[in-house]
Amino acid sequence: MSTDADVIVVGAGLAGLLCARRLGERGHVVRVLEAGDAPGGRVRTDLVDGFRCDRGFQLLNPAYPAVRRYVDLPGLDLRAFGRGVEVLTARGRSTLADPLRHPSLLAATLRSGYLRPGELARLGRWLAPAVGPVDRLLAGPDRRLADSLDRAAVDGRLRHEVLEPFLAGVLAEADGATSATFVRLLLRSFLRATPAVPSLGMQALADQLAQLPPGTVTTGARVTRVARVAGGVEVDGDLRLRGRAVVVATDPVSAAQLTGVAAPLLGGLRTWWFAAEQPPACSALLRVDGRGAAAGPVVNTVVMSNAAPSYAPPGRHLVEATTLLPSDAGEQDVRRHLDELWAVSTQRWQVVARHDLPEALPQVRPPLQARRPVDLGDGLFVTGDHRDTSSLQGALVSGARTATAVHQHLAVA
């Protein structure tokens, strides 16, 4: 059978891009077909009136092992957020920050009331597996986050006012149903490094991975069908191409449609981007509401331009606010909540952009399956965060290990 490439990768998100790069490095001819107008998938940035608005607020953790291995971090010119969190509670505002990074916030942190030895010790014991070897963590028991914290008697203000509100935005769910093992993996990275964004926006990460030989990536090319044929696999849609192997590197819903793998539950997020003449605070700490489910709808908000001034034009400021989806909260609900969270009036803030991502993150339920099969047989492969873990790290790991599997398949074939 004549083929158009050794491998056709469907989807130019992080997983597809890294998979293509690793295969190219091993000498294979690769084509990448991307339905969108640029590579990046869920990692894109819109430039709106000089503001850089990522398509949904997200953070790059430089401690992610796959990020360290496959990404040129200095090339991204990372801008770090504050190392801590500001919390609105019924008693007022509290700050919990790493005193080594923010010595000036030590007194506020000590006054926060969150450093009670009993709960700190129980939380420390619960977190302990996160600092040991990953294999041991993955081999340990797993259960819902809420049940796991209950069993460990972590049941005080630190959990309910800080940890759970913070995790709601990270996990795109607020009912504690996520795998506790997955949360420990995430917290392991948060303990090791401070999350950041590239100075040019999250898209810079995708752009770096998209540096492939000319002609490798074709945008505006949606694949609607994938079929095994004699000696390889054929993709059809805007283009019809044949490869000795095909890697479906789409989002999980499209992957399920194209290959028949099961689609996971997906958590949704909506991010509002506001332009402000004055920043509502001078810190780059994430702000959350610790008053429980009745407070809302914003799960986190931060002055982006305090962390990364390049996210706003000179003299202006960019504030993000994220809510969970589905939600019927409108702009006025978000502004009312932001008024409370920032203790300023947001009436003069202008909406720069709003990004709705109803399928932002695969939900990771216990027991965590950190490595789902990627080889579907006869030259068909599937990759993406839904095959590994729901994060940039998961997408990269997935792309890299799928490249290894495809390489082995081609060598044998």
Ligand X SMILES: Cc1cc2nc3c(=O)[nH]c(=O)nc-3n(C[C@H](O)[C@H](O)[C@H](O)COP(=O)(O)OP(=O)(O)OC[C@H]3O[C@@H](n4cnc5c(N)ncnc54)[C@H](O)[C@@H]3O)c2cc1C
Chain residues that interact with ligand X, rule: CB under 6 A: 10-16, 33-36, 41-43, 56, 58-59, 222-223, 249-251, 254, 269, 357, 360-361, 384-385, 390-395
Q: Beta partners for 197?
A: 79
Q: Name the residue nearer to ligand X (CB basis): 15 or 145.
A: 15
Q: How far is the CB of 79 from ligand X (least distance, A)?
A: 14
Within 10 A of 211 (CB to CB), how many other CB atoms are there?
Answer: 11
Q: Name the residue nearer to ligand X (CB basis): 250 or 283.
A: 250
Q: How far is the CB of 87 from ligand X (least distance, A)?
A: 19
Please enumerate in sequence order all residues whose Cβ is within 8 A of that of 404, keeping only pairs 6 or more positions apart, or say none.
22
Q: Name the residue nearer to ligand X (CB basis): 162 or 392.
A: 392
DSSP H stretches of helix in 72-216: 73-76, 106-111, 117-131, 134-139, 145-151, 157, 164-171, 180-192, 203-209
Q: Alpha-carbon distance 110 to 388, whole Å?
A: 39
DSSP-derived pairing of the beta strands 217-218 and 196-198: unpaired
Q: What angle do CA 16, 43, 164 make, to 5 degrees?
A: 115
Q: Alpha-carbon distance 289 to 287, whole Å?
A: 7
Q: Name the residue nearer to ligand X (CB basis): 12 or 204.
A: 12
Q: How far is the CB of 392 from ligand X (least distance, A)?
A: 4
Q: How far is the CB of 198 from ligand X (least distance, A)?
A: 13
Q: Name the residue nearer to ligand X (CB basis): 83 or 122.
A: 83
Q: How far is the CB of 307 from ligand X (least distance, A)?
A: 13
Q: Where are the beta strands (DSSP E) in 249-332?
A: 266-276, 286-289, 298-303, 317-325
Q: What 3-state DSSP class applies to 293?
A: coil
Q: Name the residue nearer to ligand X (CB basis): 137 or 361.
A: 361
